[in-house]
Structure 1
Amino acid sequence: MPNPFDLANILILPFIASLVTIDTTSAPRNASVWLAWTTETIKKLPSKTSSSSKGITQDTRIAV
């Protein structure tokens, strides 16, 4: 018998996701990043000095 699908078991795994931020010219900027998802937050695993982190600091509108 197959195991039931449990979304919580999948979301606790680290994933590579496409993170889109907006640069200083209002153009979209795409970066592949490691993400860890909890029930309340998405944690981005690259460093605070990465281009995607800088993009989030400049403009908090993002797409994952």
Structure 2
Amino acid sequence: MKITVEEEKCCGAGQCVLIAPEVFDQREDDGIVVLLDAEPPAERHDAVRESADVCPAAAIHLDGDE
């Protein structure tokens, strides 16, 4: 799985950080998503999928997700 984020779409809701803090963080100044691990290990894939599903701005994209 490879993750990409569209920072310009991010609204700073922070749901991704709550669900997968090992993979996502937020910038201090404006809350925009920061991708910590673009290719997380398999044990984090479920949390990453959930993060992408609940993102209100649809700013998280998953490639190679089966």
Same fold (TM over 0.5): no
Higher helix share: 2
**Normalization by structure 2: what TM-score?**
0.28
Larger Rg over CA atoms:
1
Q: Determine which structure has greater relative contact order: mean sequence separation of CA pairs < 8 Å that are 6+ residues apart, divided by chain length.
A: 2
**Normalization by structure 1: what TM-score?**
0.28
